């Protein structure tokens, strides 16, 4: 795996996401990478003991969150790749979720020794839109049974939003 996660390339003012922002100290700090196969993307996530649905199983909203951010992260990586340039080149590209689908095939065990493994497959890169399919299994190596399947339709954040986010991030810093 490369040293930096996809999310580590997001510019500072777009790095406050509760799911994956490295500057959101309260958040999940989700990290995504290209897999060794160079084609799919992976994320390993350790749910906290209180991320429960019914006792012993992972809460569906946390699963949806990890799928969401692994999806938008994978979308950004795929978009850079489609343009033939590295993620640390300008202009930055940041994706938001337009549509999220999650199928909970079976309850996902919450086991401190077996983190969640997400595998993303880029289905389509077209204009501002990227579609990513994601399988979630339990266990660090990804060989576990698939408990959850997700689909993320991600769209590139318009420039006007990026400017606004930058202003709000600045404001937030000066308020603190």
Residues of this chain that interact with its own copies (CB under 8 A) are 13-14, 16-19, 21, 24-28, 48, 50-56, 59-62, 64-66, 68-69, 94, 96-104, 107, 157, 161-162, 164-165, 168-169, 172
Residue with tokens 């777009």: 14
79 burial level (CB within 10 Å; 0-12, 13-18, 19+): buried
Query: Which helix or strand (DSSP H or E) is residue 171 part of?
Result: helix 159-175
For the CB of residue 147, give the shortest distance to its own copies in the complex, in Å: 12
For the CB of residue 84, give the shortest distance to its own copies in the complex, in Å: 26
Of 110 and 122, nearer to its own copies (C-beta) is 110
Half-sphere exposure of 122 (CA within 13 A, CB side): 23
For the CB of residue 126, give the shortest distance to its own copies in the complex, in Å: 18
Of 82 and 161, nearer to its own copies (C-beta) is 161
Closest CA to 71 of 124, 144, 130: 130
Q: By three-state DSSP, how is residue 76 classified? A: helix
Of 1 and 172, nearer to its own copies (C-beta) is 172
Spatial separation of the C-alpha atoms in residues 22 and 17, rounded to whole Å:
8
For the CB of residue 81, give the shortest distance to its own copies in the complex, in Å: 23
């Amino acid at each position: 795996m490369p040293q930096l996660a996809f999310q580590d390339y997001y510019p500072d003012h777009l790095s406050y996401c509760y799911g994956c922002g490295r500057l959101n100290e309260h958040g999940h700090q989700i990290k995504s990478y290209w897999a060794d196969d160079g084609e799919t993307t992976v994320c390993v996530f350790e749910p906290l003991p209180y991320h429960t649905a019914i006792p012993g199983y992972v809460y569906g909203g946390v699963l949806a969150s990890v799928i969401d951010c692994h999806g938008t992260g994978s979308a950004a990586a795929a978009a850079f790749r489609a343009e033939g340039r590295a993620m640390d080149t300008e202009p930055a590209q940041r994706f938001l979720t337009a549509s999220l689908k999650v199928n909970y095939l079976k309850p996902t065990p919450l086991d401190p020794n077996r983190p969640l493994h997400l595998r993303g497959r880029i289905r389509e890169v077209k204009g501002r839109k990227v579609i990513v399919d994601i399988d979630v299994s339990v266990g660090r190596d990804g060989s576990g049974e698939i408990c959850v399947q997700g689909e993320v339709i991600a769209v590139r954040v318009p420039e006007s939003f990026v400017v606004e986010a930058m202003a709000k991030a600045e404001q937030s810093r000066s308020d603190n």
